């Protein structure tokens, strides 16, 4: 700041600066941070037949403050094998889907980054286009393909390869396909961003020093694209753990996932405290991946 400016102007600038910082900070504190505090609070309260359906945490009666801290909801989650199975099912499904996305997405991103420059924008748009159409409708598309009278079964039976339809809908397989299909673009995008930034002279140097192509890939390309692998994997894994739509439409009774259980606990059983406790445990489970992703992201944001 120039010393010639008056202190009144400086003060006004300071004020303006604070106001600009305050705008997003206050909005996010109010509509992002505070809501989580409420979830934590309600996860510790009793369910009640009331509107809203939970009991108070603090009550002032007989001139004393009563605190009701109820860890019963959490104990309930641990004691019922349904919830443990749902958490395990979610993590397992998300893990398998993330691995599949990485195996399909990495070569795709690699080929895109190596494609001639004039093709790259078009290829990028082609990969992104599906994710701009409706998520719900893309999941729904698989209902018509995988069902017993669906496209695959009709085709296979028409060719005489199978006698009776394969049961694919409402299975673990259908849910995994759905997640891979829906989230593949989110894996390809950060990988592509990293692979295009790769310094070609490093690859040439490796080749000059006599490194074979596969060796160069594992020793140079793969380590340098680690940031993209982490970002892409987290962008698939984290939402997949909490996924509701895909297990609801493509899954069956044996594909338990926590997002669906939370939804049912909330909307069907109307047990808000247990739904909140489920959300808190899910958040704890995702804490490490979220922090990991965030650390990477803030490095990118600078």
Partner 1 sequence: MRFVRRINFSTVMLVLGLLFLYLPMVVLVVYSFNESKLVTVWSGFSTKWYGELFRDQQILSAVWTSLKIAFFAASMAVCLGTVAAFVMTRYGHFRGKTALSSMVTAPLVMPEVITGLSLLLLFVQMAQITGWPADRGMATIWIAHTTFCSAYVAVVVAARLREVDRSIEEAAMDLGSPPLKTFFLITLPIIAPALAAGWLLAFTLSLDDLVIASFVSGPGANTLPMVVFSSVRLGVSPKINALATLIILVVSLATLLAWFFMRRSETKRKLALKQDDTA
Q: How far is the CB of 137 from partner 1 (least distance, A)?
A: 4
Q: Is 104 in the site for partner 1 (CB under 8 A)?
A: yes
Instruction: Report, in Å, the least distance between residue 58 CB and partner 1.
Output: 13
Q: What distance in Å separates the CA atoms of residue 124 and residue 131, rounded to the nearest whole number?
A: 12
Q: How far is the CB of 226 from partner 1 (least distance, A)?
A: 18
Size of the site for partner 1 (CB under 8 A): 90
Per rule CB under 8 A, is residue 28 in the interface with partner 1?
yes
Query: By CB under 8 A, what part of segment 232-291 binds partner 1?
Result: 234-235, 238-239, 241-245, 248-249, 259, 262-263, 266, 272, 275-276, 279, 282-283, 286, 289-290
Taking CB under 8 A as the rule, does residue 140 contact partner 1? yes
Which of 193-196's residues contact partners 24+ apart within 8 Å by CB, and which partners? 193/228, 194/224, 194/225, 194/227, 194/228, 195/109, 195/110, 195/112, 195/113, 195/221, 195/225, 195/228, 196/113, 196/120
Tell me whether residue 72 or residue 130 sits nearer to partner 1 (CB atom).
130
Q: Under the criterion CB under 8 A, does residue 10 sit at the interface with partner 1?
A: no
Four-residue CA torsion sign, 163, 252, 142, 191: negative
198 sits near partner 1 (criterion: CB under 8 A) = no
* Piece of 66-74, 76-84, 131-139, 156-164 that binds partner 1 (CB under 8 A): 131-139
Round to whole Å and give the CA distance between 82 and 80. 5
Residue 84 makes contact with partner 1 by CB under 8 A: no
Residue 129, judged by CB atoms within 10 A of its CB (0-12, 13-18, 19+), counts as exposed
Residues 49-78 close enough to bind partner 1 by CB under 8 A: 52
Residues in the chain: 302
């Amino acid at each position: 700041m120039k010393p010639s400016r008056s202190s009144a102007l400086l003060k006004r600038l300071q004020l303006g600066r604070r106001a600009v910082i305050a705008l997003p900070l206050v909005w996010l504190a109010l509509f992002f941070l505070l809501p989580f505090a409420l979830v934590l609070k309600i996860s510790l309260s009793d369910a009640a037949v009331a509107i809203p359906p939970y009991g108070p945490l603090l009550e002032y009666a007989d001139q004393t403050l009563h605190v009701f801290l109820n860890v019963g909801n959490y104990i309930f989650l641990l004691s019922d094998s349904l919830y443990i199975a749902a958490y395990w099912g979610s993590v397992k499904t998300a893990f398998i889907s993330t691995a599949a996305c990485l195996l399909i997405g990495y070569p795709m991103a690699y080929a895109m980054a190596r494609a001639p420059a004039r093709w790259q924008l078009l290829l990028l748009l082609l990969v992104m286009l599906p994710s701009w159409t409706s998520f719900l409708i893309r999941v729904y598309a698989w209902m018509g393909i995988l069902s017993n009278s669906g496209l695959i079964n009709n085709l296979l039976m028409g060719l005489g390869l199978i006698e009776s339809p394969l049961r694919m809908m409402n299975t673990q397989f259908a849910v995994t396909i759905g997640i891979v299909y829906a989230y593949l673009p989110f894996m390809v995008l950060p990988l592509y961003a990293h692979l295009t930034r790769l310094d070609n002279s490093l690859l040439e140097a490796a080749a000059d020093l006599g490194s074979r192509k596969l060796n160069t890939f594992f020793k140079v390309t793969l380590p340098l694209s680690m940031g993209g692998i982490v970002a892409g994997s987290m962008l698939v894994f984290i939402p997949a753990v909490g996924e509701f739509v895909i297990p609801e439409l493509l899954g069956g009774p044996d594909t338990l996932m926590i997002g669906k259980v939370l939804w049912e606990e909330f909307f069907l059983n109307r047990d808000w405290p247990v739904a909140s406790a489920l959300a808190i445990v899910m958040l704890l489970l995702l804490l490490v991946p979220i922090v990991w992703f965030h650390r990477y992201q803030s490095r990118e944001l600078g």
